[in-house]
A and B are shown apart, each in its own frame.
Chain A
Amino acid sequence: MILILLCALVGLAPPTDVRAYDTPSDGGGEVVVEWRLSTDDETIDGYDIYRSENGADFVKVGFIGKNRSSYGDRTEDGVTYQYKVAVVSDTLRSFSQPSAEVASSASWINVAKLNIYVAMILFGGLILYFIYHARKGKKLFIRKIAGLQAIDDAVGRATEMGKPILYTLGLGYIEDIATIASLNILGEVAKKTAQYDTKLIVPNADPIVYTVAREIVKESYTKVGRPDAYDPDSVFFLAREQMAYAAGIDGIMTRERPATNFLVGYFAAESLVLAETGAATGAIQIAGTDALAQLPFFVTACDYTLIGEELYAASAYISKRPLLLGAIKGEDWAKVIIATALILASVIGLLSRFPILNLFQ
């Protein structure tokens, strides 16, 4: 009562129009409190936010500086809250009227991300459409990719020299697209090494990738009728730690002297260490990654490099699986749509006042 009297005496104007609403398009657990700034905003310290839970007394839950008119409060979903906002100036407080009751809840749809949803449906639909046609037996054309033509030569060279082939999947996890593409290529390389009876070495940096790689190599040897030639020790776990992995592979390269090195998958700073060591041993090197920062090193130190999406296309081209061919075809059409969207959006952006960039937030 004394404080209210003091406020009245010094004329500290409270904030008005306090409004509380559930934060839209979120996972729940937050209420936004908004208010009209006090007319004394320039001279005050800020605003205290008070909350009443299920009709109980108001308790302070936060403070925000002056010239700010909204506050996000962490809440428990399903509980009813009311809010008051108080102007703070030194020890003085001037309270607003309480807001209407509000309860937070999770939203089913994030309206702000509708554009991503539309893109997902569109691109996903295209890919499914082409996979369907590829499975029906429709021939889908994919242009030749330079690095792939070298695989046969590389395996043949290793066979003639009586030396092994080293296949490195990089540091990627099983969910990385580069790792998945690399596993597809590994399957085809393993078929060739099985046919030519060439030793294959596959060191791994991730336990799950190792498990999958092992299954793939074993399956490839079985598919070409050489299950007896499969050596379970040819696929092994080396190390998860980046530079320990690099040191281990460097050691293999210099001791085993592979005739061909495949560096295909996701790589980080160890890329140049591996590619340079491989080049120094005189091996043919075929690299492929979608790690943009590492591609320059592969381009300079390897004989063939699959750049970014070429790696994904290569896995489809080499395996000829309808699933992958359809996906690449769908991606090609997605690129056409993106290019068209770029041109149309630019024309609209340059010739009209329509806020076209808002569509791409």
Chain B
Amino acid sequence: MNISTDPWIWISSILSLAILSFLYRENPFFRAAEHIFLGVANGYLVTFYWHRILMPILFRPLFQQGDLLLIIPFTIGILYLTRFIPRISWLVRIPIAIYMGYWTGVLIPATIQAQIIKQVQGTVLTSANFQSWNAGAWGIVWSVIVFIGVLCTLSYFYFSREHKGVIGVTSRVGIVFVMIGFGAAFGYTVMARISLLIGKLQFLLGDWLGLIR
């Protein structure tokens, strides 16, 4: 056994154990670790934004190098602070509207390309798509299954009709496809979480206590 002498590893390990103690119940150790975690995270956030964004991208170019164009984002940013002055707090809506408008414009074409056009491309039944599964003769079967699955799932998310009659049948098939997808995602993610747990145990038993290598 070769216990670590690094004080940071000790602090990290004790805080890890305090957080893990939540598995038993909420307790003062967890509460202390939780508050330290929140405080450090928020402190880091403020420092990060100040040193990595506000100073190098806004304040220095604007006030030291005289890049006057930056007055525009500076003014928009300042409007966020009007929230603290009740008489003009409505001005906070301006930067929020600009921010949302900008990102909506950026995201709509990207979403259409990534989530509609590409999905349609991968679902259309063609000989090229049959081969893209690399499943030999089974490629045709999988392609048809995916094709039916996409159509039925679309019908599940059709909100203008009650799920009765034909839409009732297709939407039920659709939700089965959705749940199969969720099952696969669940298993995959649990595997990833287990690897995180192994990493934490390696840290505690190896880096800290020196019980394993």
Contacts and interface: CB of A to CB of B under 8 A. Distances in A.
Contact of A350 (B30, B125, B162): B125
A308 interface: yes
Given A309-B157, A339-B151, A346-B126, A360 B37 contact: no
Interface stretch (B1-9, B38-46, B53-61): B38-46
Q: Find the residue from A142, A292, A335 having the highest chain B CB count within 10 A.
A: A335
Given A293-B189, A300-B186, A335-B157, A208 B99 contact: yes
B37 A310 contact: no
A313 B100 CA distance: 20
Interface stretch (B64-72, B106-114, B204-212): B106-114
Given A143-B163, A239-B37, A309-B157, 14 more contacts: A142-B160, A143-B162, A175-B104, A208-B80, A239-B42, A250-B22, A251-B30, A254-B26, A272-B193, A292-B181, A335-B158, A341-B120, A342-B120, A350-B126
Given A296-B182, A345-B124, A174 B96 contact: yes
Interface of A: 113, 115-117, 119-120, 123, 141-143, 145, 173-175, 208, 211-212, 215, 238-241, 243-244, 247-248, 250-251, 254-255, 269, 272, 292-293, 295-297, 299-300, 307-310, 313, 328-329, 332, 335-336, 338-339, 341-343, 345-346, 349-350, 356-357, 360-361
A59 B19 CA distance: 62
Contacts of A241: 37, 41-42, 44-45
B41 A239 contact: yes
Nearest to A325: B159
A116 B109 contact: yes
Given A208-B99, A360-B121, A308 B26 contact: no
Contacts of B80: 208, 211
B128 interface: yes
B150 interface: yes
B37 A244 contact: yes
| Chain B interface mostly | helix
| Chain A interface mostly | helix
What class of interface size applies to chain B in its complex with A? Answer: 35 or more
Contacts of A120: 108-109, 112
Interface string B160-181: 1111000000000000001101
Nearest to B121: A360
A233 to B, nearest CB: 15
A186 to B, nearest CB: 15
B117 interface: yes
A197 B58 CA distance: 45
A211 B185 contact: no
A129 B74 CA distance: 38
Contacts, number: 156
Given A119-B117, A255-B26, A349-B124, A247 B37 contact: yes
Q: Find the residue from B25, B100, B124, B151 having the highest chain A CB count within 10 A.
A: B124
B103 to A, nearest CB: 3
A95 B185 CA distance: 57
Contacts of A346: 124-126, 147
B124 A360 contact: yes
A296 B183 contact: yes
Given A174-B99, A299-B182, A335-B157, A239 B38 contact: yes
A297 B30 CA distance: 24
Nearest to A250: B22
A33 to B, nearest CB: 29
B160 A116 contact: no
Nearest to A207: B80
B116 interface: yes
Given A238-B38, A332-B158, A339-B151, A251 B26 contact: yes
